[in-house]
Each structure stands twice: as C-alpha cells, then as structure tokens.
Structure 1
Amino acid sequence: MLFAPLFRLPAFTRQTLSAVLLGTSVSVAALPMAPMPAQAEQIPAQQVSALMQSIAEAAASSKDLSEFYRATGYKPIFTDNSARAKARRQALLRAVQAAPEKGLAPYDTTLLEANLRAIKSDRDLGRAEVAMAQLFLDYARDIQTGQLIPSRIDAGLVRQVPYRDGVQTLTNFVKSNPQAYLRKLEPGSPEYARLLKEKANMERVLGAGGWGPTVPGSKYEPGESGNGVIALRNRLMAMGYLPRSAATTYDAAMTKAVQVFQMQHGLTPDGVVGQGTLAEINVGPEARLASILVALERERWINMPLGKRHIWVNLTDFSAKIVDDGRVTFETRSVVGQNTGDRRSPEFSDEMEHMVINPTWNVPRSIAVKEYLPMMQRNPNAAGHLRLVDSRGRTVNRANVDFSQYTTKTFPYALKQPPSDGNALGLVKFMFPNKYNIYLHDTPSKSLFGREVRAFSHGCIRLQQPFDFAYALLAKQSSDPVGLFQSHLKTRQENIIELEEHVPVHLVYRTAVTLPKGGVEYRRDIYGRDAKIWAALKAKGVQLRAVGS
C-alpha cells in the first residue's frame, strides 16, 4: 500500500524528539533542515503536544516534510477542524482520484482514507497529517515534472528535469486556493492541453471499438479495386481521413485521404499505400493512445519556460525549427544520429551561443580510434583529407608513423579536417557547448535529406538549409544578416559570430505531436525510446482506458 511506510515510525528517544522540537540537547544546526522561524524556535516543553510529537516522528524520514513542519511549529495543515484544512483535503483527494485523466498512474488512498475515518488519538491524527502531506508532494512532483526519472529509462535521455523544491511547494500550497494551486501544478503549455484533449478523444475511440479491421495485403495504388481497397476505405473513414463513401475503387478522394495521412505520419505523400504506409495505417488506437501518454510524460519533463525564441529539434520528425512567441518562423529538414551504439542523438536542452563559419572538424576521439585508426593501419594514406596532429598541435607526416603499434587506448594523435566545401561539418556549425559534443551543422552529404527516415549521423544534427537557418538567427541582431554571414564565409578562414542573445535549444523526441486546430501527427519510434518509457509507465500503473460515449 502506498502509505504503509509512513506508518512504520522510526525509533525516537524523547531526548532526540525534544531536540527536534525545542532545539536543545542536540544541535539543530547539525540537522539537515532549514532554521526554524522565530515563532517555532521556542516551544516550551509543556506545550509539546502528542499531535506535534506524532507529526515530528512521522515526518522524520522525509527531509522536505521535516523542514516544512519544523518551520511551521508542527501545526497540521490538512487534519485540523478548520475550513481551510477541509478544503485542502478535499482538493487533494479529488486531484489524485482524477490522476488517470491526466495520464498518471492511479494513487492507492485506501489506507489513508481508512486511517482518516479511524482516528482515535492525536498520534493517529499526526500520522494521517503527514501521510496527506506526503501524498501532496508525490502528486505535485508527478503532475508537474513526471512520474519517471528519464536517465533510468534510456542512456540517451540525459534531460535535466526542472524539479521544484518540496518545502516551497508545500508553503505556497498553504498560502493559496487549494484547487487553483493544484491545477497550476500541471504544465501550462498549449501542447499539454491539446494532448489531454486528444487522450480523451482516443479513449472514446477505444470505447467505441476502435477503427475496425486492419487492411490486408502489401500495396495499393490509385485505380485499383477489390476487397482490400474496400477495407482501406473503411479504415480511412473510421480514422477520420475520408468522408463517408461507398466507392469501391481507389479513387481521387481516397488518394487525397492517403496523402493527408502520409503527411501526418512523416511519410512521403505519394498517395500510394506501400508497406510503410500500410504498417502505419494498421497501427491500432491502443498504440496511438500509448504514444499520447508518453508525450504527456515527456511534456512534464520539460515543464519550464522554453524561451520566447527557441530552437526545437524533434528527432523523430527529422526537423529543426526556430520558434518565436509560440509560432514556427523557420523550419528545415534534419539528419539525426544513426540508430546504433552511441550514435543515437541524445535528448537535452541547452543554449546556442555562437556559430562557427568555415569550421575545422576536430574528429571526436571515439570516431578517430574506432573508424579511422583501423583504416590507417591497413593503409597509412587512408582518409587523406584529415590532418594528423600531435599533442603540441603540430601536423605529423604519416610516412613517419607506424599505425600498427597503436590501440584505441594508446593512439596519441588527433585528427582534424581543415575548412573546405567538403568538410564533414560543411561550411557552418551552430554551437551550444555541452558535454555530449552535440551541435547543429551543415553537411556536404545533401542527398540524405531526400530520404524518408534520416538517421545517418554520428549523433550531431545536420541541417538541410544551414545558411537560411543562420540568416534567421542573425536577423535579430543585424539589418543585413545575409551580408554579415557571407562576409565571414568569403574569408574561407574559420571564424565565429557570437549571438548577442543566446537561444535555448531543445532536442526532443516526440512520436505524438498535436496540431493547433485539432488532431495529432504521429512519428515512428526510431530509437525505441518511447517503447521503453511506455513499459516503465505501465510498470508504474498507467493504464489504457476505454471510455464509453
């Protein structure tokens, strides 16, 4: 049961309890708690009630609860007879009972409610008080910043979740209207609100029996007819892509519906139902609902100001966008990390500080020793576009090096590619310095942007239109962004343009993204991360719900 640990009290001597309550016998400063305010510091021994003692004991296992109750003189905020305490209790219990509506796991309050009904003493009351406070902190953290810890799910989830201070959260709750405060804990982004709406829509789809039979076969093209085309027609109608129709051939209306479906699922909108499109059409509402629930959890992980202007890179969508005041003002295709080993692009947020024009490619150590060293061991002149550089920055003649004597651990050289049109970074890179050595950059490999799935890099994000991206960034600080950029480019020398205002960069991974006017676009789980998150959410108790109309 959720609250059982809160009722297994730690062994407390009366002397230690007096120290916690009175600040005597044991140094209060030595305890991991904030100093008590003046009104709570001096509590005469005769005024240390059984209720205060019970609260102190029950809160002792939690730093936040100990600090909060110590600062308030161990006064109950949930379980006294005041109208405000009753309002807090009712608001909290209503909120946790509605948790599944928000995509959270249900909370088991059976023991707590039983204990509230069976209170016979101040000690019972103190334990119930702290249990209510712990429930509040658990719910507040879950609804505000997520139920899962990202780094425990996947190595690529390196996002720093903006957790709030528990003591401050409790303190603000006590000062506020309970219902309003609990509502404000949720992310306030339009995306979060739309995801909740689409969650409810998908639950109604499940309640109505789903979208009917899947479509058989492997490929359908305009002009065809037959039972498979009829099944395709029915499926498109059930999903809302095709108006009600009695057509038995793959006509113009069905072609248009397929193209819309393809665009909303990151597929090439050719109007032909090939294997890839058919696989997506046959994904059931249960899987789509799971994607929405995962997106809600991810939205809680990034529950913070994104920046009035920010860069949004959705790895699953292979796109990079500049967003100003909530509106996309620039968008380009991207190539992301390959789905193998340590090449998968990580997810995190940082700030773009500058751009490097005509960059030198300093080959990452991992690439140098895993990819290029074996090549040079077979042929010393391999990868001749790269300079071999020693620890003092001097270029080394390969003819004087016996590459066979080195291992991945002992290789003493760095590899660098000077600025050029053929540089692996292209002609510009955009820097938000981070320990993962990830950045956005140009590339000479332009053909990859024509692919439907664009996961080919070593982890960095390649941009299809890097110059236009640079112009859009520089437009905030220059009346001639094109001229400014081109003047640096023409030098053919590596140089830097600082961004006068740093721009937040968010590398995200969303397989379900809402549309402002309603509906959801879905993308494939290219790295399998959402599958891991969904498995962890299910283990927590999150459930797919079917709601009757």
Structure 2
Amino acid sequence: MLGRSSSYALLVTLLLLNINPSFAIERAEAAYQSLAFQIQFAQLIRPSKQLDNDYRALTLGTNELKKTRVEHILSDLQEFWTSVGVPNNASKSVNYTDLLAHVFALEPLSSDYLATSNKVRFQLWLSQQEEWGELRIDRWLEEGDVHSLVPEIRRRLLLLGDVDSSNNSDQLKQDIHIADAHFIIGVKSFQQRHGLKRDGIIGPETLRWINLKPFERARLLAMNFVDKTRFLASVEPRFLLINIPAFQLELISHGRIELQSRVIVGKPYRQTPVLSSQISNLVINPSWRVPRRLLTRDLLPKVREDGGYIEQRNFDVFDRHGELVSKSPQEWQDLAHGRFPYRLVQKPGEGNTLGRYKFFFKNKYNVYIHDTSDKDLFNESNRALSSGCIRIENVEGLANWMASHLVKDKQTWVEMQIERRKTQWFSLNDTLPVHLVYWTAWIDENGNAQYRNDIYHQNSVLNTAIAHLTP
C-alpha cells in the first residue's frame, strides 16, 4: 500500500535522481486521473459498488486518501480487465516505484484504447452538461425546409462533431430555423457515421440516432471495445474479418489492412452466424446447389408464376436418384404447386447466383463467401439481404490476393481466367482464417465514432436505448 512511508521513499528516490518533486506530484496526479478514466470506462461495462468507491476516492478524496487507496484501486482495475479478457502489461510492469508507469501498463493493449477512452469521456461529459430530450418530427426534414427543431438538431450535430462551427456560427447564434446547405452537410456526415443512407434527409431512422443519449453512446463504444479487443488479442497474424452489422470485410496481415470490401449479409430471419473458421478452398465458376429451404421459400414461388424460370436461370433439375429431369415450362409450373421431389443446380456462367468465385470454409451453417450477379445491391445502406452467405463486392481483389499468396496451382489459375462455364476447385498452400464478428460501435482510423444498427437484435444495450424512441 502506498502510504506515508512509500510516498516518502518515492520522494527520496526522486531527489537522489535529481528529479523535481513538483514534477513527481504532477505525475502522481496524472496517474490518479488516468485511473479515474479507466474506472469510468469499466463502470460502463460492469458497474460495481467497489469501482464507484474507487472513483469517488480519486475524484473527491484528499491526496492522503488517494495515496492510501491507490494500491487497492490498481488491484481492482487489474481484476476487472482480466475478468473481461482484455490484456494489458500490468503483470510485466517492474517499475512499481513509478506510479504513472504502472498505471499506463494497466491500460488495455489496444491501439485504439486512447481514442476510444477520449470519446467515451466526452460522451459522458455531454450526458452531464447537455439536455438531450427526445425530438419528435411529424414529417421528413429536407434541405430548404423550415422547422422549429432545426436549431436543436444543429446543436446536437455540432456537439457530436458532424457540423463545422466555423461554417455555422451565425446560424448557431441567431437560432436559424432553415435546413440550409451547411446543415445538410452535417446531416450527411452523421448519417455516414451511423451506416445510414447518406441523403441529407432526416427521417425516422436518422432521428432515432440523433435522439440516442450520449451516455448510451458511451456504453456502446465501451462494450464493443471490450468485445473487439478481447477477440483480437487471440487472432492469427493474417486473417479475414467480416463485421456483420457494418457490412464490411477486411483482410488483415500483421496489423496491416491489405484489402477492404463492402459485403452483403443475411436477412434478419436468415442471419449470417458469428463464427470462426478457415478458408480451405477457392472455386472459380461455381455451380449452385439450391438448399431445400431456399427452393421452397424463394424459387418455387417464381416457378409457379413462370414455368420457364428454370430454363431462363440456367438450372439443371435432378430426381432423387441423381438423374437429370427435363420437362416443359407448363409441367414445371404445375409441379411447383404441389410436392416438388427434385433438386435444382444452377450451372456456372453468366447470371449464376454465386457469381465468379466461391470461398469455402467449413462450418455447420453451410454458409460461405461468394461473388454475386446482382452488383447493384452493394449500393444499399442496409445490406442484410442474403440468405445467410456473405456476398463480397471486391471479389476480384480477394481472389487475386489468394491466388498470389495461397493458391498452389498458379498455372491453372492463369489458364482459367478466360473460362466462364467450367468449374475449377483450387487447393491452397495454407488455410486463411476467417472470422465473422458482430460489432456495432468503434472508433475508425480518423478518430471518428462509428455506430451501426443492431440488425439481428443481439446488442441488448442498443436495443434498450432505442426501443422507446419514436420511429
């Protein structure tokens, strides 16, 4: 425990090292402040009476109280970070006479901890200093519209960093009620940070996020930070990461992003699962064997409307014995109204649902990554549109990277580039780890807080925070 004797010993050490005692006091205060910040962070994730008492001692207590409690506080925080699986360097810290160094060693080992912590603290400050009542608008708000809530929305966008105060100083001072061009720029920035359609129109979804209280924003950042940091602490040096609610894929090698792509994931009632596996094969010109569930729900209704759908979409039909079956469009249409004892396989080529490439990884859900023939869907803001598999926009980039780094038979790969109808499986020199994760908030590389809709309702914090907000 750092009581009087240890404090005195520390002071003597500083004097012997010719270090100004006032500088040592500043370092001690910096250490106490850092500990208080860590406790604020921890309280958002797992509130406890003990941490609350620690925080009060650091922020309201005398210097003597801080000194006598600091060792317990260090222990409490180390226990917390360990319990949530977030690594740090505290166990490797040997310079215990330097409190600030020990405190820094206690911080999570993550490159974005400082940025996340700063943003969390700011949101907590906002929650204490600013009113954030629920705003209600009975119509959609577009550029040029006049509305009494424009000044309040502008104020919130300014506080959240989406409105440039230098361009909006007059409007902020004069309480301007018109949604002008600068206001719309701020709305678009806000929408982009929340994964919404960047149209500058304040509709129900944009308003719901504007109404989200700063305290809940802080909680989302903190809880997702812990999930992400715990997960990334044990990943391989090279891996493929797909964040489902962000509709985003990243190929990461030794801490560097090699490739990024927008993706399409499963609909809420056909969810893409959270899992980890290994990509073991790459397929050029895959055929598509239609799962029975999709055949019943998706394809047969189309065949009932148009018996020519099977031929138009280049499907082969097989009976239970694996024999190819051929019938007229009218016969297919009639059969689709009853029990359909056949399986459909879409041949490779133009228009194939899986597109040009398929990336296979073993899993019990029978999902995989593939190309798509419907490229326009990548422009949608909500890309939860598939039946569970992941469709990738930059499929050529991923395929070529794998061909360069992992594909064994590179000569056949080159020869297959002009082939569109022949299916070819490629073995790899090594597997590529793939991780499907579910993170709804994070700090991006520019220091901006990013938030995403909880498309599968897996985040209880976000669900509780926005459930009551007016749609």
Normalising by structure 2, we get a TM-score of 0.68
Question: Would the aligned equivalents of 1:309 and 1:325 in 2 still touch at CA under 8 Å?
Answer: yes
Q: Does 1:245 align with 2:186?
A: no
One-letter amino acid matched to 1:273: I
Query: 1:524 is matched with which residue?
Result: 453
The CA deviation at 1:519 is 2.8
CA-to-aligned-CA distance 1:390-445 (integer Å, 9 cap, x gap): 455432345899968986xxx76533111121111111111222111111111112
Structure 2 matches for 1:56-455, cutoff 5 A? 101-102=41-42, 103-107=44-48, 139=80, 142-144=83-85, 188-211=109-132, 214=135, 216-242=137-163, 243=165, 245-247=169-171, 248=176, 249-299=178-228, 302-340=231-269, 343-372=270-299, 383-384=310-311, 385-390=314-319, 393-397=322-326, 413-455=342-384
CA-to-aligned-CA distance 1:348-398 (integer Å, 9 cap, x gap): 222222321100112223223444467778987763443233455432345
Normalising by structure 1, we get a TM-score of 0.60
CA-to-aligned-CA distance 1:428-474 (integer Å, 9 cap, x gap): 11122211111111111222222221111101111223223322333
Q: Structure 1 residues 109, 220: closer, same or farther in 2, change over 3 A?
A: closer
Query: 2:432 is matched with which residue?
Result: 503
Query: 1:460 is matched with which residue?
Result: 389
Amino-acid identity (%): 28
Q: Measure, in 2, the Cα distance between the counterparts of 1:375 and 1:393.
A: 23
One-letter amino acid matched to 2:85: Q
Structure 2 matches for 1:41-52, cutoff 5 A? none
One-letter amino acid matched to 1:359: P
Question: Would the aligned equivalents of 1:173 and 1:181 in 2 still touch at CA under 8 Å?
Answer: no
Question: Would the aligned equivalents of 2:288 and 2:345 in 1 still touch at CA under 8 Å?
Answer: yes
CA RMSD, Structure 1 to Structure 2 (Å): 4.5
CA-to-aligned-CA distance 1:157-182 (integer Å, 9 cap, x gap): xxxxxxx9xxxxxxx97999999999
Query: 1:44 is matched with which residue?
Result: none
Q: Measure, in 2, the Cα distance between the counterparts of 1:262 and 1:308.
A: 33
Question: Would the aligned equivalents of 2:241 and 2:251 in 1 still touch at CA under 8 Å?
Answer: yes
Query: 2:15 is matched with which residue?
Result: none
One-letter amino acid matched to 1:234: R
Question: Would the aligned equivalents of 1:215 and 1:232 in 2 still touch at CA under 8 Å?
Answer: no
One-letter amino acid matched to 1:265: H
Query: 1:115 is matched with which residue?
Result: none
Q: Measure, in 1, the Cα distance between the counterparts of 2:337 and 2:301.
A: 11
Instruction: Flag the structure with larger Rg.
Output: 1
3-state SS, counterpart of residue 261 of structure 2: strand
CA-to-aligned-CA distance 1:94-139 (integer Å, 9 cap, x gap): 99996663243245669xxxxxxxxxxxxxxxxxxxxxxxx99985
The CA deviation at 1:140 is 6.3
The CA deviation at 1:143 is 2.0
One-letter amino acid matched to 2:438: Y
Q: Measure, in 2, the Cα distance between the counterparts of 1:259 and 1:197.
A: 24
Q: Measure, in 1, the Cα distance between the counterparts of 2:356 and 2:343.
A: 21
Question: Would the aligned equivalents of 2:265 and 2:271 in 1 still touch at CA under 8 Å?
Answer: yes
The CA deviation at 1:329 is 3.3
Query: 1:153 is matched with which residue?
Result: none
3-state SS, counterpart of residue 367 of structure 2: coil
Q: Structure 1 residues 213, 532: closer, same or farther in 2, change over 3 A?
A: closer
Query: 1:490 is matched with which residue?
Result: 419
Question: Would the aligned equivalents of 2:355 and 2:372 in 1 still touch at CA under 8 Å?
Answer: yes
Q: Measure, in 1, the Cα distance between the counterparts of 2:38 and 2:447.
A: 24
Q: Measure, in 1, the Cα distance between the counterparts of 2:304 and 2:231.
A: 46
Question: Would the aligned equivalents of 1:215 and 1:231 in 2 still touch at CA under 8 Å?
Answer: no
Q: Structure 1 residues 378, 329: closer, same or farther in 2, change over 3 A?
A: closer
Q: Measure, in 2, the Cα distance between the counterparts of 1:454 and 1:175.
A: 46
Residue ranges of structure 1 left out of the alignment (5+ in a row): 1-82, 84-93, 111-134, 146-163, 165-171, 537-549
3-state SS, counterpart of residue 261 of structure 1: helix
Q: Structure 1 residues 422, 185: closer, same or farther in 2, change over 3 A?
A: farther
**245-254 or 372-381, which moves further after superposition?**
372-381
3-state SS, counterpart of residue 525 of structure 1: coil
